[in-house]
Amino acid sequence: FLSKCTSPPVALLSELVQSGSVSVFMGASGGLHSHTLLLDEEKGRLLLGARDHVYLLDPDNLSRAPRKIVWPASLDRVKMCKLAGKNVNLECANFVRVLHNYNHTHVYACGTGAFHPTCAFIELTGHRESGVFQLLPSSFESGRLKCPFDPRQPFTSVLTDQYLYAGTASDFLGKDTTFTRSLGPPPDQNYIRTEISEDYWINEASFISAHPMSDTHNPDDDKIYFFFREVSREGKDKSILSRVARVCKNDVGGLRSLTNKWTTFLKARLVCSIPGPDGVDTHFDELQDIFMLPTRDDKNPVVYGVFTTSSSIFRGSAVCVYSMADIRAVFNGPYAHKEGPDHRWVEYEGRIPYPRPGTCPSKTYDAKIKTTKDFPDEVVSFVRFHPLMHGSVLPLNGRPVFQLVRAEYTLTQIVVDRVSAEDGQYEVMFLGTDAGSVLKVVSIAQENWSREEVVLEELQVFQVPTPILSMEMSFKQQQLYVGSSEGLAQVSLSRCPLYGQGCSECCLARDPYCAWDGTTCSRYVPAAKRRARRQDVKHGDPASQCWDSADGGGLAEERVLFGVQNNSTFLECIPKSQQAQIRWYIQRPGVEHRDQVREHSPDAGTEVRSD
Ligand SMILES: *[C@@H]1O[C@H](CO)[C@@H](O)[C@H](O)[C@H]1NC(C)=O
Ligand SMILES: *[C@@H]1O[C@H](CO)[C@@H](O)[C@H](O)[C@H]1NC(C)=O
Ligand SMILES: *[C@@H]1O[C@H](CO)[C@@H](O)[C@H](O)[C@H]1NC(C)=O
Ligand SMILES: *[C@@H]1O[C@H](CO)[C@@H](O)[C@H](O)[C@H]1NC(C)=O
Ligand SMILES: *[C@@H]1O[C@H](CO)[C@@H](O)[C@H](O)[C@H]1NC(C)=O
């Protein structure tokens, strides 16, 4: 017999579109380049920054009356971009990379402008379908230090209190990478940036994300935390490391040195690794994405990071989770110091000036220090030469919550949803890959403190295997928006009916979004009055949940096939969920009992031969 089990089942785009759980917006012409999303759940609108366009979409239905602003790069710039040897389609256009709500009526936008970044205001008022939606040419200004030149460069920005914070390359070659602040209410519109002359501040960085955050109840302590990976040189070695860094929101730069530079900048290493049996850890050093899962305490969101390995032989990805408390503890700990002939970073054990470098200025702490310009020279000089903390930020439980090794793809994006199920709350991760698919994964804590990673679904949301560039979740709509160079896909968070009609199949799926309601597998709503909702995310044991249902918690489906002796028969089966198991038994002529058909290789999907 030849048996082939397609497990795990990858949900293909055609099935997903047919069942109404995915729809794709392609824009007017192909190749939308959906890098930048701005979702406003309250106003019910979704802005999409794409190549030469900004789209205004209905988050309910991306194809319903889309509106657009055409915003190409100037012909001169396109010509110069081509002359510089750049690719016409992929580089010499205006790729919109910045879209932020500025005030109630205006959105701030920047595009790469064919390697000549430009920013402008978009006026957006009234009803989505009939209101004002226009670019204001009178507001055009340079986008240098706010937006990358190169559309393919990782980049992040965040706008808060009318200030724009951006992590970007500030030049054509993409060599000088910096974290900046710009805009702001007049007259205070100076740029503040990281120091350029010291390569150990920020060196050839790829910026991943930035988040305004309160550290204490004192608003003077408010900071911007940002995440990036950079090239690190220790002695002669060159490697890529991931970082978490922070600056004070009220930093206005130094007086005599570090003028218009951050005087409160500190950074620390962010570690994501699997402890090895022989003490050699497997490191995932290249941060790809960060998601902050809110908690009741807005000072302490849960930090989820997606990392990949930098090794060319070993391709792997992992998700690590961090607490803000651990991150703050590292910034409150010892500083690092470059020492010795090989210039290694070691723990700094000398005297630390007052106020502690990295502390935000506040009248509450010291009446003489009202702004960063009042810092003593030795504080500014200390920050200049000691921006790195000695301690590293380690993941919760000392290891990843999910890892992917020896897979054909790597992870690029993450969003996380907190889902209430019958047996508790679960954090469901939606992970974008570089192959156009989305994995839905839940990490379940077991009684013995170990964690079990369960892949609930794998959805191929783009026809062409292309990296997922952006992901945004609408908690209100229960939808995920997934962008790639192909377009923008709208994906519903769950597809319970696809797990089949039976109680056992529904239970085996272990999907916190789904429960068996007595007749079908459907979306689980904790507050619903319906009785007898059957679900077992923790163990996925149908016997405990479905003993009184038609399938008795046992076999979900039995199929009989007849084969010819001395010949081969194809045993094909497609399990409905990633957790269902399939067993084949063989009953030979004239024999009463059945033997299980065993696969010689433990890998599902391999073909086995049996007589
Ligand atoms: C979305 O909108 C389009 C255009 O109005 C319409 O044809 C389609 O049926 C809508 N889809 C859904 C699921 O409502
Ligand atoms: C929003 O900002 C724009 C640009 O600075 C300004 O022209 C407009 O008056 C502001 N609107 C409100 C309501 O403050
Ligand atoms: C914890 O329990 C699970 C099953 O519930 C088991 O597979 C795993 O091996 C156990 N881990 C440890 C460390 O005992
Ligand atoms: C099957 O093959 C075996 C040996 O290869 C032979 O002894 C037997 O007669 C064959 N059976 C049939 C039904 O062809
Ligand atoms: C063996 O199986 C194949 C495919 O099922 C069939 O075409 C062929 O006729 C069979 N041969 C014999 C000898 O039964």
Cα–Cα nearest to 536, from 516, 566, 559: 516
In a domain, 560, yes or no: no
Output the CA 390–ligand 4 centroid distance in Å. 74
My answer on whether 112 and 200 are in the same domain is no
108 lines ligand 2 (CB under 6 A): no
Q: Which ligand is nearest to the CA of 539?
A: 3
My answer on whether 180 and 95 are in the same domain is no
Least confident of 36-40, 196-200, 279-283, 398-402: 196-200
In a domain, 507, yes or no: no
pLDDT in tens, 446-473: 877 788 888 999 999 998 899 999 999 9
My answer on whether 66 and 202 are in the same domain is no
In a domain, 15, yes or no: no
Output the CA 608–ligand 5 centroid distance in Å. 18
My answer on whether 168 and 70 are in the same domain is no
In a domain, 315, yes or no: yes
Token reading at 250: 């009220």
Say if CB 444 and CB 452 are below 8 A apart.
yes
In a domain, 587, yes or no: no
Instruction: Tell me which of 119, 144, 169 is where a domain ends.
Output: 144
My answer on whether 140 and 160 are in the same domain is no
In a domain, 478, yes or no: no
Structural domain count of the chain: 2
Least confident of 159-173, 481-495, 596-610: 596-610
Pocket perturbation via mutation, ligand 1, pick of 16, 18, 23, 61 by most ligand atoms within 8 A of CB: 61
Chain position carrying tokens 């085996």: 508
My answer on whether 39 and 161 are in the same domain is no
**Cα gap 200→305, rounded to integer Å:** 23
My answer on whether 97 and 135 are in the same domain is yes
My answer on whether 192 and 299 are in the same domain is yes
Pocket of ligand 4 (CB under 6 A): 565-566
My answer on whether 158 and 140 are in the same domain is no
517 Cβ partners below 8 Å, 6+ apart? Answer: 530, 532, 533, 534
Chain position carrying tokens 């970073």: 345
pLDDT in tens, 565-579: 777 666 666 666 666
Instruction: Tell me which of 85, 117, 144 is where a domain ends.
Output: 144
- Predicted model pTM: 0.86
My answer on whether 50 and 173 are in the same domain is no
421: left (phi over 0), alpha (psi -120 to 50) or beta: beta
CATH number of the domain at 366, please: 2.130.10.10
My answer on whether 140 and 166 are in the same domain is no
Output the CA 61–ligand 1 centroid distance in Å. 6
Output the CA 611–ligand 4 centroid distance in Å. 10
In a domain, 343, yes or no: yes
* Residue type at 487 in one-letter notation: G
Which of 43-57, 232-246, 309-323, 542-556 tops mean pLDDT? 43-57
Token reading at 197: 């002359």
My answer on whether 65 and 177 are in the same domain is no
The pLDDT value given to residue 608: 40
Least confident of 208-212, 217-221, 278-282, 388-392: 278-282
The whole-number average pLDDT for the span 352-373 is: 92
pLDDT in tens, 480-518: 999 998 899 999 999 998 887 788 888 888 999 998 888
In a domain, 591, yes or no: no
Q: Which residue range is the domain that position 336 belongs to?
A: 153-407
The pLDDT value given to residue 131: 95
Pocket of ligand 5 (CB under 6 A): 564, 567
Instruction: Tell me which of 359, 392, 407 is where a domain ends.
Output: 407
